[in-house]
Amino acid sequence: MLLVVDVGNTNITYGVYKESELITTFRMMSKMPRTSDEYGIAIRELLFINDIKRDDIDGCIVSSVVPGIMHSLMSGIIKYVYEKPMMVGAGIKTGIKIITENPKEIGPDRIVDAVGGYEKYGGPVLVLDFGTATTYDLVTENGEFAAGITAPGLRISAKALWEDTARLPEIEIRKPKSILAQETISSMQAGLVYGQIGQTEYIISQVRKEAGLDSMKVVATGGLGRIIADETDSIDIYDSTLTLDGLRIIYDKNRRH
């Protein structure tokens, strides 16, 4: 079995594959300080709860945008789970050619999403990830990472509202019954969700226009992506496991060589 690990700014998402089948997923917060032993034991326990033993894991791949926790996390994985985890980074084979001005600036999370989107749905494809930030990454028909757009994510925007204004409360992020809000909570929800929908539709439209790609597929992923994907025809597919699938695909490409 293959353990894939996606370290994001908010959560660490784990997935276990049996060949190409995703058999379980689990998460833990990435901002909570942990020792290598705490990481290792927690992962072992979560695997055990899902009837997976250490000896069942015969491969591991990790992608991370949070450098500060990687020493402890990798040490925990090596000690308790799998001795030779693969890291998404320089030198790894992805099948995607980055043609932006500075390829080294493209985060591993975006490369993984691009691989998942291109390998699963073909190109040209625009991959949206509604995470801590909302990202839009364009992959051409030939598998070239051609452009990327980065915007504040829904949670960042919501947090700014209630932390930087004295009288606005912390709220649940969800679509209200109507945009015609008549009280504070639904007013904030309307601004956040409908604002994100509007942003999403405009950016997709502008990418199509400037890239000249009318046939471009639009694929969304990320924790809050379902809320937006359900409310717009601009997104063709919502794929909740796209990032984990991208990690599996990259692992397979490197294992074969």
The residues carrying an active-site annotation are 109
DSSP string, 133-152: EEEEEEE-TTSEEEEEEEEE
* Strand partners for 129: 135, 221
- The answer to whether residues 112 and 247 touch, using CB atoms and an 8 Å cutoff, is yes
Report the alpha-carbon distance of residue 114 to residue 148 in Å, rounded. Answer: 10
Question: Around Cβ 30, how many Cβ atoms within 10 Å?
Answer: 21
Q: Which two tokens stand for residue 136?
A: 């839009």
Tokens 């997923």, residue located: 25
Nearest Cα residue to 9 out of 91, 79, 107: 107
Q: From residue 74, give the alpha-carbon distance in Å to each of 2, 63, 130, 181.
A: 16, 11, 26, 47
For 191, residues 6+ apart whose C-beta sits below 8 A from its C-beta are 161
Instruction: Determine the residue type at 91.
Output: G
Q: Residue 169 CA to chain centroid, in angstroms?
A: 28
Joined tokens for residue 242? 């796209």
